[in-house]
Structure 1
């Protein structure tokens, strides 16, 4: 029976969808388990450190874990070292460390032990950035430190319009009508905006490529660009033909569509040929991260026909792919609400409902159980990309019968997509949990 089930999965996707790693659990810290700051430890940054005097370590750990959950931050807890490895939606990696305070050494002229300050009951909370945007890091850092000191629960104090289009707060507001009042946009305006974004993507500089992809995210966001321009930008992303008074060549529309398809489906950037394509499987990523020395890495390089780019290139590719999924999720969701009658015709002959593209999105669903340490420095999908891929699958299934039939074929007893979604149904990530529930409801009538 297991072989038959495996055969059904092979017939559908070509290989088995593997889920590795465990869901994040509440941070359990024993009060007597906390350790002091190690000797020769670098000086603590006062902007990223807090001293908690009113709660034991177990309570501080609960406060921090609840704050991370409310802010939709992927986290992996280490109960032995009392640390939490975290990753935000824009792939900012940082760690939260808890230390025990110490009894301050007495001055030379003080002989009474009672006058010596004693902070052994205090908890030191330190947040250390590992990589990613410093602005995004400090926003989360301030919220975590405030929650640790019981000055809040980690809620976002900014209004959704003040948040970045890359954050999850803006993703949830897309379901409500936009309050932005903008002038009527034309296809020519969309062409100019898309050309400027794609001109940045074609450059060979990392900062320019990130800025170009961020521009596409803003272009498909109603609060950033207005409804008309966002609809035009979304049509370009999904490959829909745009008609109107175009004063310039519109060939870049197809180039943008193909760029996003290649990045999402094949995880490759322009200029990366077949032998330069990184192996994005789970085993390959772990072996790359755990290479013990340069000699073993060179040996593996000679034995393998796949060349793995440097870690920085893989991290950059992962950031771009995460934003590309955000662009696609924004576009599909916006067109399903603003142009519901147009989307089925667009998807009828689109590569977005092809077997290979749906397989790539289905593989991203397993990122809902992937730990941040595994995703760091790779192009693997994290819990954040799993939420975006789940939304894309839901919209595609709602507006394309062929896509829905590939996801849930009534003639087959095994449904890998439903199995992968079922494992994320009770995920602690609030956005992923909500998107999974909606997608399962959309696929259930089949």
Structure 2
């Protein structure tokens, strides 16, 4: 027979094993850059140079994390957001990435901006197995989960945007003679590829192509050249500084083509207002986010949160600047990943949670557009809607279009 003492020992032993197992399950897991007190996030943006208009994104993200910190942080941890300037230089981006990873010891880098800069740091980040999370670029390759499992984009792929413009032209202006101005880097070439793929057998509609370098002070000569081609449609695949220049020069030449402006430079406050509202009338683009200055969103619950945030944490920010809207939505998505990660703040789990977003809707996305990712889908936002500039605002039209770009 088994004695009572033996039974008691057995029960105590079982209880001890259960408690140990529970403690093990609840154990916090940290990689470099995370602790009970803080989470260090790295960021690289062009606060100077030809793309400095995007620098406001970093200021908005810093303000957003400040707000979260004042509210107690994320899962009790404060966010230490470390952002450096690369001047839109790929070489400088590599230098800053190494500094963030090796000196600042961040848990991951989020929102490095620009296709050239993200391309430059991609191999390094993947070799170090440090998440290159939500790259601020629509380059299709940042969704290549097989080759680069530590890199993920955020905004819609440039190729899908190009396909949407092609579909619009084929439907509304099938006899168009198209001129294309594009930035001579992966951004410009990627969107151009989508345009040509979308035109398919009708790619001969493109009668002129001209590229520019970001180091050029002016692109006026390129617009003169494209006008001389006889084109009656222009696809401007440009970043803000050059987008405004192109609009001004086309107006100066009295050239009035059906005008498409790439999403990354469709900001009312950052591009169209500086160029001049009068010359921007009728310009076409596509978007996935709400216009921060459009009165139609005044009663929208998400935008009320956004406006309240600006009033308290970024009162000098221009709500009409698309980069301001972008920074808020992007930071909100990073915060969601960290919330889902809980106490398992390893780099591996950060990527797993980034690839496990289900119908997440940041306050600033258009109604009906949500973020969805999976282990085989590293393109978080895959929907766009066409829009036309009228008066001082963009007017959305047509259905929300889902991209068909694979990872």
Q: TM-score band, normalised by the shorter chain?
A: under 0.3
TM-score, reference length from structure 2: 0.27
TM-score, reference length from structure 1: 0.25
